[in-house]
Amino acid sequence: MIIGGVAAGASAAARLRRMDEEAEIVMFERGQDISFANCGLPYYVGGVIAKKNNLLVQTPRAMSKRFAIDVRVLTEVQEIIPTEKRIVAHDFGSGEKYSESYDYLVLCPGAAPVIPDIPGINRPNVYTVRNIPDSEKIKAHVEVSDVQNVVIIGAGFIGMEMAEMMQVRELNVTVVEASPQILGVLDPEMASIVEKYVTSQGVKFITGDVAVALEGDPAVNKVILKSGIEIPADLVILGIGVKPETWLAVQAGLEIGETGGIKVNQYLQTSDPFIYAAGDAIEVNDYVTGNATLVPMAGPANRQGWIVANNIAGRKIEYPGSQGTGIIKLMDMVVAVTGRNERSLQRWGIDYLTCHVHPNSHATYYPGASQMTIKLIFSPEGKILGAQIVGYDNVDKAIDAFATAIRARMTVYDLQDLELAYAPPFSSAKTPVNLAGYAAANILEGMVEPVRWENVDALVKAGALLVDVRTDKEHQKMPVEGSVNMPLDELRDNLGQISEDQEILAFCQVGLRSYVANRILRQKGFKVKNISGGYKMYPK
């Protein structure tokens, strides 16, 4: 018996049939669709994906015929009785409730949208985005009603994708996010780059504020924030996040983990050895740190379903954990992550270092190159802990290399040695991944000591000298208050202007020229630090 028929459940069912032709497999799905591409829902709402059927990887009829699986849609399993190895299901179509016995049960209920308990949340023009019927309702509302102002509550992946799609439809979009930044998987300085770009495309952001009421009757016409701000709204979309759907597991007496997900062992068995669980509802080990975490993503869910099927069929396979690799397109910009961010490492008390580089997507002498910003997070021993990239081209290629490096337990020194594909239209001789490895290794080897912009003011007040090694023209066009301009190519001729007792904080546009300046000054006996990422990371 498989409860849930989307990513993990459908993957488990299909793999189990391929492993065991004789097994009786029954799959319950309380919705009307199975195996649909829920990651594509925002693009269907925005009209980028034209037909609903394009989101269907499998239909109940097609899956039943190909894999000889008893697929029961619009049927909710409402009770599990582990002592009797039995479930109770409710067929919404007929209204019938009935019981079925199992040898093994696979729980794949997924995650439910977080819905805040605020006045007006149940109004007819307030929507979540979980399944195809949800997206059909939003799409119909936009196309049939006179919608001009859209308020999206939550700036995670779904919220941001919905913001893009509403902007594509030329609507007025305001995104409200409770935390101080958008896209919580990113660190603040990386999220700031994204927010500035998306704002330039016409989307408004209000961060550090929360909705406390949705006013209007019968439909919402304005959103009231805690700060007192009132936002006109013809449509409200909730993208606050998701939480594991565990009520059925709790009812069955299964153990729930510290994160709120269903607790499983390395074989994805729950506290009952005859009940497995997979997908967004389970607690997994973070692959980087080993800590318990939740990773509600399609890739891990599909893999987990496959592993569960193998284990039920007698082929023991362990699940090594998830690292949270993700990517999102926002207009022309691409944002990608893998591994841990600073906030999670701080929460878990793990030491780390960071570096920022701004390589081009391919050789600059070949037309069409664009710049990306890469943040690499690594341990004091060089182990890669995480990577974040914001850019336009080849971001997916670079993040996949970092994700693979993390999975292979590689170090920043290994990144230097990677022999990656290069030709002028595709990359550079030193690829973006190589360059991040070189920058990180320079820090570990003491070739350069980085400092972050947020620490510069305090260091200057303590007597440090802020030195801009860009050209005079750059210095005048993009000034940094309190900085002294000493262009790199003239630096050796001006060393007499610097006291050997004064700490120097050097920066340029992206950090490369200031690194060269650091090497010059260090070897001349000066105390110097390099501002990580250069002016590109300056909090303007």
Nearest CA to 317 out of 271, 267, 265 is that of 267
The DSSP annotation for 42-105 comes to HHHHTTSS--GGGGBS--HHHHHHHH--EEEESEEEEEEEGGGTEEEEEETTT--EEEEE-SSE
- Please check whether residue 278 is in contact with residue 301, taking contact to mean a CB–CB distance below 8 angstroms: yes
Distance of alpha carbon 55 from alpha carbon 328, whole angstroms: 18
Prior bond to 539 cis, omega within 30? no
What residues act catalytically?
Answer: 39
Distance of alpha carbon 323 from alpha carbon 306, whole angstroms: 18
- Please check whether residue 4 is in contact with residue 31, taking contact to mean a CB–CB distance below 8 angstroms: no
| 151-191 per-position pLDDT tens digit | 999 999 999 999 999 999 999 999 999 999 999 999 999 99
Q: Specify the pLDDT at position 5.
A: 94
How many residues does the structure list for the chain?
540
Distance of alpha carbon 191 from alpha carbon 189, whole angstroms: 6
Q: Specify the pLDDT at position 336.
A: 98
Nearest CA to 269 out of 239, 232, 310 is that of 310
**121-156 b/e with 16+ CB inside 10 Å = b?**
bebebbbbbbbbebbebbbebbeeeebebbbbbbbb
The DSSP annotation for 415-478 comes to HHH------TTT--SS-HHHHHHHHHHHHHTTS--EE-HHHHHHHHHTT-EEEE-S-HHHHHHS
Distance of alpha carbon 148 from alpha carbon 219, whole angstroms: 14
Q: Specify the pLDDT at position 400.
A: 98
> CA torsion sign, 433 to 439 to 443 to 446?
positive
Beta strand pairing status for 26-29 and 111-113? unpaired
CA distances from 68 to 92, 234, 406, 509, 540 (A): 23, 46, 39, 61, 60
Q: Specify the pLDDT at position 540.
A: 82
Q: What is the 3-state secondary structure (H, E, C) of 257-287?
A: CCCCCEECCCCCECCCCCEEECCCCEEEEEC
CA angle 341-347-349, nearest 5°?
Answer: 100
Distance of alpha carbon 178 from alpha carbon 44, whole angstroms: 27
Nearest CA to 108 out of 255, 293, 301 is that of 301
Nearest CA to 388 out of 421, 420, 432, 322 is that of 432
> CA torsion sign, 455 to 458 to 459 to 460?
positive
Q: Specify the pLDDT at position 469.
A: 98
Q: Specify the pLDDT at position 32.
A: 93
Q: Specify the pLDDT at position 35.
A: 87
Distance of alpha carbon 322 from alpha carbon 391, whole angstroms: 24
Q: What is the DSSP code (8-state) at residue 114?
A: P
- pLDDT by position in tens, the chain (length 540): 999 999 999 999 999 999 999 999 999 999 999 988 888 999 988 889 988 888 888 899 999 999 999 999 999 999 999 999 999 999 999 999 999 999 999 999 999 999 999 999 999 999 999 888 889 999 999 998 999 999 999 999 999 999 999 999 999 999 999 999 999 999 999 999 999 999 999 999 999 999 999 999 999 999 999 999 999 999 999 999 999 999 999 999 999 999 999 999 999 999 999 999 999 999 999 999 999 999 999 999 999 999 999 999 999 999 999 999 999 999 999 999 999 999 999 999 999 999 999 999 999 999 999 999 999 999 999 999 999 999 999 999 999 999 999 999 999 999 999 999 999 999 999 999 999 999 999 999 999 999 999 999 999 999 999 999 999 999 999 999 999 999 999 999 999 999 989 999 999 999 999 999 999 999 999 999 999 999 999 998
Helix, strand and coil in the chain, % to nearest 5: 30, 25, 40
Nearest CA to 341 out of 493, 463, 189, 459 is that of 189
